[in-house]
Chain A
Amino acid sequence: MTDTRAYEGLIAETITVQGDGGDSIYAYFARPLGEGPFPAMLLLHHIPGWDEWYRETARRYAHHGYVTICPDLYYRDGHGEPEDVAAKVRAEGGAPDDRVVGDADGCIAYLRSLPYVTGKVGVMGTCSGGRHSFLVGCRSSEGVDAVVDCWGGNVVMPPENLSERQPVAPIDYTADLAAPLLGLFGENDFSPTPDQVAEHEAALQREGKDYEFHMYPNAGHGFFYYHYPQAYAAEAAVDGWEKIWDFLERKLG
């Protein structure tokens, strides 16, 4: 809630963190000014890469009181315009799951090392980042306190789609999920389809996990993306963000 009398400020910049295997990778970092302590968020970017939308989203989280880090998951694949790098990664079958989890662990450790962080850390991502967020919720050795999966495709994967980079379908890790999960999905999405979301939900129920799934009618893939008119679904986006702030307040606040 904005208070017109309150001082407000944030800082946002590119930093270097230790990722998978001790590699130094770039990350975009945004935090509210002040002593805190603040809860923290890890953002895992989508297939189009480490792009402007994710930097804006990091600043948005900082505005809402979260110390936020968003690593360049394609750091090792080259540098330049995000979509040029992303095109290369797309052709190679996406970022390797193990590397993403390793990069996430490095970022979580960094967040928890900061004197102005409460220690509570959530993870959020869209598209492939939603899938990766669920994976981190299941596989992170550092552990997270909340997971937000926005239309993560390929959580349910047929065996023929498994590869060296994605050797295990994330749904098969459901028993290991160690944090509450919020999932936002669109009824018109092709990946994940409503049937795949239902399959994932059944697995979460079987394992007795703490989760909240919301399926929006008249929304497809990427319904938060206001810069992409074909995908943007205003009603779902407004409600989705409200659900995220409410969920994180309850789990990290």
Chain B
Amino acid sequence: MCTMIAEKVQIAGSGKSRDRWFPIAQTYVSFDHPFHLQREHALNLDFVNEELGTGARVAVELTPEDARELATTILRLLDEGAEVETGPA
């Protein structure tokens, strides 16, 4: 909130919190103060299910550099996966 850079994305997936798997319904994406990472700002991902209460949350805090690297890797692997599923373009 200090940066005001935050969005909520509706998604469907599964996530594992401390002791259980649960259906993920939303992801909070923010560039703001992290809770744990020792930086003033971080790229924060909170995979949550609001209907299950605030404890249904898997949190990840990344440096901006690592978040970009991860995003690039995710997109590359998604492209490779699409080739496996549909064959080369």
Contact for A88 among B4, B32, B54, CB less than 8 A = B54
Binary per-residue interface labels of chain B (1-45) against chain A in the complex, 1 for a CB within 8 Å, 0 otherwise? 111101110000000000000000010111011010011110010
- Contact of A161 with B53 in the complex, beta carbons under 8 Å: no
Count CB-based A-B contacts (< 8 Å).
Answer: 81
B: interface residue count bin: 20 to 34
Residues of A within 8 Å of B83, CB to CB, are none
Q: Is the CB of B54 within 8 A of A230?
A: no
Any B CB within 8 A of the CB of A249: no
B45 to chain A, nearest CB (A): 10
The answer to whether A128 touches B2, judged by C-beta atoms less than 8 angstroms apart, is: yes
Of the residues B4, B26, B39, B57, contact of A93 by C-beta under 8 Å: B4
A sample of 18 inter-chain contacts (CB < 8 A) reads: A47-B2, A47-B32, A47-B33, A80-B53, A83-B35, A84-B54, A85-B54, A88-B28, A88-B46, A88-B50, A92-B6, A128-B2, A154-B4, A161-B4, A190-B40, A191-B3, A221-B2, A221-B33
Mark B residues whose CB is within 8 Å of A. Answer: 1-4, 6-8, 26, 28-30, 32-33, 35, 38-41, 44, 46, 48, 50, 53-55, 57, 59
